[in-house]
């Protein structure tokens, strides 16, 4: 059982923080007036929460799997130890959507992801937040229904979309719109076949038979710290392939990185990125410059002011990134590499679950075999990266100095827990299973 410490302040606010490391995150979200923190690796396990007062926390206890644990935190004094609360299904779904949004490296449709946020918030009783997001995302529903019709898709994505539409608050769709969408999706559900679950269960046994998946003039190529940027901003070709091309110039360095084809070139995410240069040994920030969108790339020239380019390390950060989050010293660069492996492995593991969950009910036997084999390849790639990440973080923890040993040990333990999860069969349903955007990527994207 995970434990943590309660903190209360003079104004009555209360918070609880787990005594554990986080492998992917921390992922922060708000629901019904409470702030939650989870590890993307285990969205059901709360690692932090905060409320305006104990009464507000007690009033939300029914959203947890164990109301008694929430009551114990609400009743605790400042500094008391308390057991970790476990999220109920609706909160797990909300945490999962937020985790996918923050971490997933796949080519997810951001509009469909917004629809996931809307549905998760409404399902968790946060109707005001849910209604606002539904209002922004409602137009994507028509596009999705059209895609389903054009591709004559008969898989589980239809049932999930029907659930999302049914949960939408009054006023998001007119009665006619909701009726037409519902009739179309229900008509498709009636054409599906129940024996699919038997076929899928048999197909999972094929995992053991599947195979494993396996720049020019620049002086240096740096790997982006994915935790400091929107996760689907830059083109990503694997955890070992750097995204940032660094070219030395007279008393300067030029940084360039390829944007994904789905990125809005005029949007804030692409136009609020900074190039940073730091001392390679200490990680201290030395210089920076705003990145510009040039064609389909980000570019910047950063002045070095007489600093030897061989002594610096370069990176990219979002405009709202705290400078103390930079990890450009040698240990930080190693942690960035491990984090990239963890994010990739988690994304591939979830993609495997989405592939299995989204397969068209009308698929032929050969198509089913192909899906199962592709899912197995994704799982094996994820497991391979996690084995490497565990070895790397273990070596790093053993070489830690006295002031970093505790933090590295906690992180190493969290990476180990993630590795255990990655070695298990991916969820294909339930609150922590594939969300609409993940199903869309593999079925209709």
| Contact between 278 and 285 (Cβ < 8 Å) | yes
Q: How confident is the model at residue 238 (pLDDT cuts 50, 70, 90)?
A: very high
d(CA 358, CA 112): 15
For 223-232, what is each residue's pLDDT tens digit? Answer: 999 999 999 9
What is the mean predicted confidence (pLDDT) over 116-125? Answer: 93
Chain-centroid distance of CA 206 in Å reads 28
- DSSP H helical ranges for 168-305: 175-189, 196-203, 268-271
Structure tokens at 415: 């990476």
If we measure between CA atoms, which residue out of 297, 325, 326 comes closest to residue 314? 326
For 134-143, what is each residue's pLDDT tens digit? Answer: 999 989 999 9
Residue scoring higher pLDDT (214 or 82)? 82
The residue assigned the tokens 């921390």 is 26
What is the mean predicted confidence (pLDDT) over 387-401? Answer: 95
Predicted pLDDT of residue 183: 93
Mean pLDDT of the chain: 90
d(CA 59, CA 77): 18
| Contact between 96 and 426 (Cβ < 8 Å) | no
* Cα-trace Rg, the chain: 23
Predicted pLDDT of residue 258: 97
What is the mean predicted confidence (pLDDT) over 381-386? Answer: 97
For 262-273, what is each residue's pLDDT tens digit? Answer: 999 999 999 999
The residue assigned the tokens 């939650």 is 36
Beta strands in 113-195 (DSSP E): none
What is the mean predicted confidence (pLDDT) over 75-98? Answer: 95
d(CA 41, CA 29): 15
Range of lowest pLDDT (219-223, 227-231, 271-275, 391-395): 219-223
User: What phi, psi does 85 have (nearest 5°)?
Assistant: -80, 150
If we measure between CA atoms, which residue out of 123, 125, 136 comes closest to residue 97? 123
Q: What share of the chain is helix, strand, coil (3-state, %, to 5)?
A: 50, 20, 35
d(CA 47, CA 44): 9
Indicate the angle between helix axes 405-422 and 365-398, nearest 10 degrees: 160
Long-range contacts for 177-186 (Cβ within 8 Å, ≥24 apart)? 181/141, 181/145, 184/145, 184/148, 184/149, 185/145, 185/148, 185/158, 185/159, 185/161, 186/162
Q: How confident is the model at residue 219 (pLDDT cuts 50, 70, 90)?
A: low
Q: Is 128 exposed, middle or buried (0-12, 13-18, 19+ CB in 10 A)?
A: exposed
Domains of the chain from N-terminus onward: 3-87 (no CATH), 107-189 (no CATH), 196-211+332-429 (no CATH), 226-326 (2.60.40)
Q: Tell which phi-psi region holds residue 295, choosing left (phi > 0), alpha (psi between -120 and 50) or beta.
A: left
Edge to edge, the sheet with strand 285-290 lists: 285-290, 273-279, 312-318
d(CA 101, CA 90): 17
d(CA 96, CA 103): 10
Structure tokens at 17: 């923080």
For 153-199, what is each residue's pLDDT tens digit? Answer: 988 899 999 999 999 988 899 999 999 999 999 988 887 644 344 33
Predicted pLDDT of residue 192: 63
Predicted pLDDT of residue 231: 95
d(CA 223, CA 340): 9
What is the mean predicted confidence (pLDDT) over 399-404? Answer: 90
Sign, CA dihedral 431-437-438-443, equals positive
SS3 35: strand
The residue assigned the tokens 């405009």 is 319
What is the mean predicted confidence (pLDDT) over 74-90? Answer: 95
Q: How confident is the model at residue 363 (pLDDT cuts 50, 70, 90)?
A: confident
Q: Work out whether strand 81-83 and strand 3-8 pair parallel, antiparallel, or are unpaired.
A: antiparallel
Q: Work out whether strand 27-31 and strand 14-18 pair parallel, antiparallel, or are unpaired.
A: unpaired
Q: How confident is the model at residue 319 (pLDDT cuts 50, 70, 90)?
A: confident
């Amino acid at each position: 059982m995970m434990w943590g410490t309660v903190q209360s302040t003079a104004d009555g606010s209360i918070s609880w923080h787990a005594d554990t490391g986080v492998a992917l995150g921390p992922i922060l979200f708000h629901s019904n007036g409470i702030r939650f923190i989870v590890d993307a690796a285990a969205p059901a396990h709360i690692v932090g929460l905060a409320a305006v007062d104990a009464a507000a926390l007690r009033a939300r206890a029914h959203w947890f799997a164990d109301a008694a644990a929430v009551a114990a935190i609400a009743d605790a004094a400042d500094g008391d130890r308390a057991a970790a609360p476990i999220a109920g299904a609706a909160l797990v779904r909300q945490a999962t959507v937020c985790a996918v949004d923050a971490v997933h490296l796949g080519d997810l449709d951001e509009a469909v992801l917004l629809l996931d946020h809307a549905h998760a918030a409404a399902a968790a009783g946060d109707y005001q937040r849910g209604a606002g997001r539904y209002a922004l995302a409602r137009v994507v529903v028509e596009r999705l229904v059209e895609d389903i019709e054009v591709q004559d898709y008969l898989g589980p994505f239809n049932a999930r979309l029907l659930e999302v539409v049914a949960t939408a608050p009054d006023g998001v769709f007119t009665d006619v719109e909701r009726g037409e969408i519902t009739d179309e999706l229900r008509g498709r559900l009636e054409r599906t076949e129940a024996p699919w679950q038997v076929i899928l269960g048999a197909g999972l046994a094929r995992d053991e038979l599947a195979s494993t998946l396996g720049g020019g003039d620049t002086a240096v190529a740096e790997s982006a710290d994915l935790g400091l940027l929107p996760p689907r901003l830059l083109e990503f070709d694997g955890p070992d392939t750097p995204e940032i091309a660094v070219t030395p110039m007279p008393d300067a360095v030029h940084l360039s990185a390829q944007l994904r084809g789905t990125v809005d070139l005029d949007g804030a995410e692409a136009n609020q990125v900074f190039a940073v240069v730091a001392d390679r040994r200490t990680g201290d920030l030395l210089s920076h410059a705003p990145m510009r969108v040039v064609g389909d790339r980000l570019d910047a020239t950063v002045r070095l002011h007489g600093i030897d380019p061989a002594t610096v390390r370069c990176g990219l950060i979002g405009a709202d990134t705290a400078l103390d989050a930079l990890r450009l010293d040698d240990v930080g660069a190693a942690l960035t590499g491990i984090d990239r492996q963890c994010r990739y492995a988690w994304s591939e593991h979830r993609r495997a679950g989405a592939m299995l969950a989204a397969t068209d009910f009308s698929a032929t036997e050969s198509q089913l075999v192909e899906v199962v084999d592709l899912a197995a390849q994704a799982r094996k790639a994820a497991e391979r990266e996690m084995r490497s990440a565990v070895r790397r973080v273990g070596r790093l923890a053993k070489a830690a100095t006295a002031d970093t040993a505790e933090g590295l040990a906690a992180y190493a333990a969290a990476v180990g827990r993630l590795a255990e999860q990655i070695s298990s069969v991916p969820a294909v349903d339930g609150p922590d299973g594939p969300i609409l955007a993940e199903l869309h990527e593999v079925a209709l994207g």
